[in-house]
């Protein structure tokens, strides 16, 4: 399961409501946008929104920073337009303030890709996707998308004491500014960030423990106490240990390179298997003599049976942990389960690709030289085209072969690493698992073994993406009470099927 993040363009401020509205993504226009997964474009009608009230507006795609909620959405000829009501929280007010000041300049959607295919121009065309969230972001990507309106709720006047210098500045501004400009400035909505004043409190250890517990239960007064207690400049000896909301996780991510390297489709709505018709014998056409009998061979077909597999994981824990721990625990749990789901499905696809691939008849060194790599690519392209009548477009490599690609050079000049050398044969970067090698799109997977001593090695595959299709259902979450033990069960599961339409659509390296 991949979440695609696509960024839109600039923001401008307007009106006097606490709302943000505008074009969140172009669809049906052919416009290509840069995403976390590469270049993508959306077909008309390809994005499913569902219940608009459940679509949150986030800050920078951070699930722990919601700032509003969608109130309306409309699909037009050139894209999807939506309106969001911003929260009165500190985050919501800060978002409005930064939008007015031009510090955030775009919108970005987070979408779950259900069906897509590569285009001849090198980008991916999405035909089915589900909108998960929308975020305010800093950098734009889609040039045609823009926020049409950002409106802050008017703040009632508050009595305040102005200094003499403040009054002079105000009088001078009004005097020097034309009437039209002054009227616009007066109508501009005011946004104020929330703040608190540190009260005089009892900072004893028992009191601090009590208020920390009350804060976790939702007490605003207790939260104010905890914030004030964090400032120890005038409370000698009280230095509480703070816990950040950022969680370190170097064990998993949601990358599915093997699935990205082939075509994808939507899983049929029923059954644990399905069939795909396949032509097994073609009719013949041959030179025929005058008045002679034409060539006569009947076309024949069969069916490829595809098995549907279930991928699932669960965790069971006490109700106390669920109720009394930070929401960060549940968020991180679901993120990690989604990452493990991605790893399991990607490994299943990689295994199927390797199992059906043709083996290179030429034995190469463990990590091919530049000349050996070009030979492998040329033989693989020819093999794939011969066996599938389709072109090899992608090359899938594990991390060891990726590292080798970055070392290949011509008299010391990197072949795939340099930006624009005269001898460039593609582009391979240490900070990206996507690239290009000898005309093939590169995909790097960390979900396969780094070494394999079989005759047909699985460390690098040349692939015709149309020869394989990954069919997948949406992923589901289940939370249930375990009455007997008073615990809570959280599960994530989904269904997928890898269809090997033409087994020789992949070509595997044969190394010593």
Quick check: 84 and 19 in contact, CB under 8 A? yes
Across the chain, mean pLDDT equals 77
Dihedral over alpha carbons 124, 125, 131, 133 (to 10 degrees): 40
Of 239 and 14, more confident? 239
Quick check: 131 and 48 in contact, CB under 8 A? yes
pLDDT tens-digit series, residues 179-191: 333 333 333 343 4
φ, ψ for residue 508 (rounded to 5)? -105, 145
Write out 48-63 in H/E/C secondary structure.
ECCCHHHCEEEECCEE
Q: How far is CA 278 from the centre of its chain?
A: 34
pLDDT surpassing 90 at residue 329: no
pLDDT surpassing 80 at residue 76: yes
- pLDDT for 13 equals 42
pLDDT surpassing 80 at residue 407: yes
Tokens 């970067």 belong to residue: 429
pLDDT surpassing 90 at residue 499: yes
pLDDT surpassing 70 at residue 108: yes
Quick check: 347 and 493 in contact, CB under 8 A? no
- pLDDT for 377 equals 94
Flag the least confident range among 115-119, 155-159, 257-261, 399-403: 155-159
Question: What is the average pLDDT across 217-244?
Answer: 65
List the structure tokens of 486.
């008073």
List the structure tokens of 356.
């059906």
pLDDT surpassing 50 at residue 208: yes
Question: What is the average pLDDT across 5-14?
Answer: 47
Of 501 and 177, more confident? 501
- DSSP, collapsed to helix, strand or coil, labels residue 163 as coil
Q: Who's near 396: CB < 8 A, 6+ residues apart?
A: 257, 258, 261, 350, 353, 443, 444, 445, 460, 461, 463
Instruction: Give the pLDDT band (50/70/90) at residue 458.
Output: confident
Question: What is the average pLDDT across 384-399?
Answer: 92
Flag the least confident range among 84-88, 129-133, 257-261: 84-88
Q: What DSSP line would sit under 317-378, residue for residue?
A: EEHHHHHHS-HHHHHHHHHHHHHHHHHHHHHHHHHHHHHHPEEPSS-B-SS--HHHHHHHHH
Alpha carbon distance 419, 428 (integer Å): 10
Q: How far is CA 37 from the centre of its chain?
A: 7
Quick check: 67 and 57 in contact, CB under 8 A? yes
Quick check: 424 and 413 in contact, CB under 8 A? no
Alpha carbon distance 285, 290 (integer Å): 15
Q: Which of 5-19, 43-57, 309-323, 422-436 has the highest mean pLDDT?
A: 43-57
Mode of pairing for the β-strands spanning 409-410 and 413-414:
antiparallel
The closest alpha carbon to 472, from 268, 247, 175, belongs to: 268
Question: What is the average pLDDT across 104-133?
Answer: 85
- pLDDT for 191 equals 40
pLDDT tens-digit series, residues 237-266: 455 566 666 667 777 778 899 999 999 999
- Beta bridge mates, 291: none
Question: How distant, in Å, are the alpha carbons of 268, 441, 512 from that of 408?
Answer: 44, 17, 19
Flag the least confident range among 36-45, 227-236, 346-355: 227-236
- pLDDT for 153 equals 53
Instruction: Give the pLDDT band (50/70/90) at residue 162.
Output: very low
- Beta bridge mates, 6: 35, 109
Instruction: Give the pLDDT band (50/70/90) at residue 116.
Output: confident
Question: What is the average pLDDT across 305-323?
Answer: 85
Stated as kind and residue range, the H or E segment containing 80 is: strand 79-86
Alpha carbon distance 442, 440 (integer Å): 6
pLDDT surpassing 70 at residue 344: yes
Flag the least confident range among 1-15, 347-361, 442-456: 1-15
């Amino acid at each position: 399961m991949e979440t695609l993040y696509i960024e839109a363009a600039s923001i401008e401020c307007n009106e006097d409501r606490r709302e943000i509205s505008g074009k969140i993504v172009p669809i049906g226009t052919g416009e290509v946008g840069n995403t976390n997964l590469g270049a993508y474009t959306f077909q008309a009608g390809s994005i499913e929104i569902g219940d608009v009230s459940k679509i949150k507006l986030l800050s920078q795609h951070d699930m722990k920073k919601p700032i509003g909620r969608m109130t309306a959405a409309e699909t037009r000829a050139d894209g999807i337009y939506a309106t969001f009501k911003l929260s009165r929280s500190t985050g919501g007010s800060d978002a409005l303030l930064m939008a007015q000041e031009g510090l955030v300049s775009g919108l970005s959607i987070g979408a779950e890709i259900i069906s897509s295919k590569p285009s001849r121009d090198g980008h991916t065309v999405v035909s089915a996707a589900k909108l998960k969230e929308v975020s305010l972001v800093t950098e734009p990507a889609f040039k045609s998308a823009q926020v049409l309106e950002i409106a802050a709720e008017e703040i009632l006047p508050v009595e305040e004491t102005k200094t003499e210098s403040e009054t002079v500045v105000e009088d001078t501004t009004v005097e020097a500014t034309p009437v039209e400009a002054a009227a616009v400035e007066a109508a501009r909505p005011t946004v104020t960030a929330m703040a608190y004043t540190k009260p005089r409190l009892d900072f004893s250890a028992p009191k601090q423990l009590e208020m920390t517990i009350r804060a976790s239960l939702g007490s605003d007064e207790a939260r104010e106490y905890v914030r004030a207690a964090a400032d120890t400049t005038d409370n000698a000896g009280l230095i509480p240990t703070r816990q950040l909301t950022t969680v370190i996780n170097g064990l998993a991510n949601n990358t599915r390179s093997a699935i990205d390297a082939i075509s994808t489709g939507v899983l049929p709505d029923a059954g644990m298997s399905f069939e795909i018709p396949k032509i097994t014998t073609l009719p013949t056409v041959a030179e025929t003599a005058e008045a002679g009998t034409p060539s006569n061979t009947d076309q024949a077909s069969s069916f490829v049976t595809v098995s549907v597999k279930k991928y699932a994981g669960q965790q069971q824990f006490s109700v106390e942990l669920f109720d009394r721990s930070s929401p960060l625990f549940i968020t991180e749990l679901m993120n990690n389960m989604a990452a493990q789901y991605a790893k399991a499905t990607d490994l299943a696809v990689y295994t199927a690709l390797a199992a059906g691939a043709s083996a290179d008849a030429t034995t190469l060194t463990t990590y091919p030289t530049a000349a050996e790599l070009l030979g492998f690519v040329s033989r693989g392209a020819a093999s794939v085209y011969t066996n599938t009548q389709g072109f090899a477009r992608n090359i899938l490599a594990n991390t060891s072969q990726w590292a080798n690609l970055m070392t290949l050079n011509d008299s010391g000049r990197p072949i795939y690493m340099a930006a624009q050398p005269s001898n460039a044969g593609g582009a391979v970067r240490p900070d990206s698992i996507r690239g290009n090698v000898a005309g093939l799109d590169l995909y790097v997977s960390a979900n396969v073994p780094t070494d394999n001593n079989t005759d047909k090695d699985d460390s690098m595959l040349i692939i015709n993406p149309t020869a394989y299709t990954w069919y997948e259902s949406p992923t589901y979450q289940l939370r249930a009470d375990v009455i007997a033990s008073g615990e809570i069960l959280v599960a994530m599961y989904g269904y997928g099927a890898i269809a090997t339409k033409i087994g020789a659509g992949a070509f595997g390296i044969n190394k010593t």
